[in-house]
Structure 1
Amino acid sequence: MNSPTSQDQVQELRRQLQSLLEAATANERKLDRFDALERRLIAVSSMEELVNLLLVDCREDFGLDAAELWLLDPDEELRRALPALPMVKAPTLLDGHGPLKDLFGAARTTRLIGPGPDEDLLAKAFGEGSGARSAALLPLIRQGLLIGSLHFGSRDPERYDAASGTKFLDRLAAIAAISIESMLNRERLRRAGMTDGLTGVHNRRYFDHRSLIEFSQAVRHRYPLACLFLDIDHFKAINDRHGHPAGDEVLRQVGGLIQRSLRTGDLAARYGGEEFVILLPRTDLAGACEVAERIRLLVQEAPFITPDGGTLGATLSVGLAMLPPGAVSFADLLTAADRAVYDAKRAGRNRTVAAEPGGAAEAAAGS
């Protein structure tokens, strides 16, 4: 006959065994979820899909209350690539390592944060008002470099206990970092095929393709479309007087000024030599003149830095044309803007000239 003490011991052993079985089952389910997520990360084909997977799908699949993705972007590669993507939630783009150092210090290892001395990091990781009481902060590291971080947050203060293991999270962070680097490299290759290597704006090939799309959209939806032709004045003289490396620097810096002056959705390209072309969808004549003058004045006032550390000045002549009602060819719009820029040069350079619908010069600004 078993004693009460022996029966209690047996019951306790059964409870312990049941607890171990439940923990093993929970870990198996967790492993299955992580494995499925890793497979999807490896298979992503676009930055849009990758970001949505990490910030939207992860939140739903793992029952999270908050998710954030921070990515280093000192050269603004992602800023140029991401605005046009239809993402439910966008990542936070960082100019430098400061915010990452605040989270990870020198350790650069996964951190589990809950109530306690490190609780203030929750507001840094998710912003005020997120409601997160505990979090997993995953550093994203590639080739020894910290490229960003992934944050999972929960309102449950015990969800991410600092004493818990981080094996699954560490593996997820490594695969996420590989996927992000892969997408960045793919984006760089894509941009290399449609970007002018010197100025950073789109190249003629890309412009010829995209302009036909913009033209057809403007005609179909009957919204205004403006075209600007920009030509650097006396560019041959700049090359002759200061050398071709100085001329290249002027081209590069003018390209940068143009890019910073445009909205998302506008299109700028180097058309050839010292010529640039811009398309402004949904922009009327007054708005197009404003853009043209803003760029012209920026170039006029800029001190262009030469490779030897000196400075020189440059100006632009700008031709502007509007897509006329009933247009049947984009080439007519481009030709009108091209003629207008020559009118600007004949009128004294460093000015904007708008073409009449018939092609003649209509107005001039600047001097």
Structure 2
Amino acid sequence: MTPVSQKSLSLLVQENKDLKKALRQKQRELNHFIKAGKDLSAPLEFKKVLQVVLSAARRLVRCEDWSLLLFNPTENTLHYALTKGAILKDLKKLQYRLGEGPVGWVAQKGRPLLIPDFSKQKRYDAARFYPHLSARSVLCLPILAKNQVLGVIQMVNRLEEEHFTENDCLLLEKLLDQSTQAIERSDVLQKMSDLVTTDDLTHLYNLRYLDRILEVEMKRSRRYKSSLALIFIDLDYFKQVNDNHGHIMGSQVLIEIADILIESLRAVDVVVRYGGDEFVVLLPNTPLKKATRVAERVRVAIRDFKFLQTEGLSLHIAASFGIASYPEHAKNRTDLIHLADRAMYESKRKGRDMVSVAKK
């Protein structure tokens, strides 16, 4: 065999190997799509749909780090909902505004963003947006349903390849297209409604929900001639926590306060993050005397709790409480909140860490 023939044969052998490798890769991709299709064919809750999609995405495009962020339409922010390993607790404290960072850009524009080599771009600071790892390459795609951006899938640092590629982006776009019907069949609209009425940090109800439910509970109170108590809570010297330990630690304290409130109250009670370090609790069918006992019990639970133990600290924090009752103190929701707020400030004036009742 001549040298030319030998070279041609070697090229053919190599081309054959490359072709077989490409076919095997296409078959693997097809199998992943088939599995995802089967998994998505059954009725699923929104979170389960997202878990299936993210699992398929990780099989299609292997990467060092992955996460899924959900969009909060009320605050125009994104927060981490699913992520690799045990770092969700740390990332849960982070959120990005619409247009902020790679994920914010994707949520704002509604289209994918591929950054093949982070070192060759100057738009985004890797240390700021990826503090938990060294980002070399990033691929972000929007999760869409009925022309709404629900969230963003983010993949960082391609494995087996140096960078993410356009082909990786196309594969994941096909996967998300495949999942669209399943997302729209899920309880996504309910979830979006929950996002509108739920505080992003603590997952308590927010002020928007309070306005709605307070009217409902007052009507129920009138109908059944029962009492409705409202407790206004404000943390004492909370600014010192932020000043001394930083806002991330302050946010963790608020999360722990929310947990204490939920654990201390009945399932029928409504717990609301009113704003900042202020909380409101609605106690349906609860006389004033009983509501005062409940507030006192919660006050002690907060005072005795050791905050930020998981962060290596042991802080003690107190709170001031104010209570107003419908219809005893107020005839409408605005006055009810106002009187409870005034009673809370009376607790502050008297020395804090106490419960005060509105004056008739």
TM-score with structure 1 setting the length: 0.46
> Larger Rg: 1 or 2?
1
Higher relative contact order (CA 8 A, sep 6+): 2
TM-score with structure 2 setting the length: 0.47
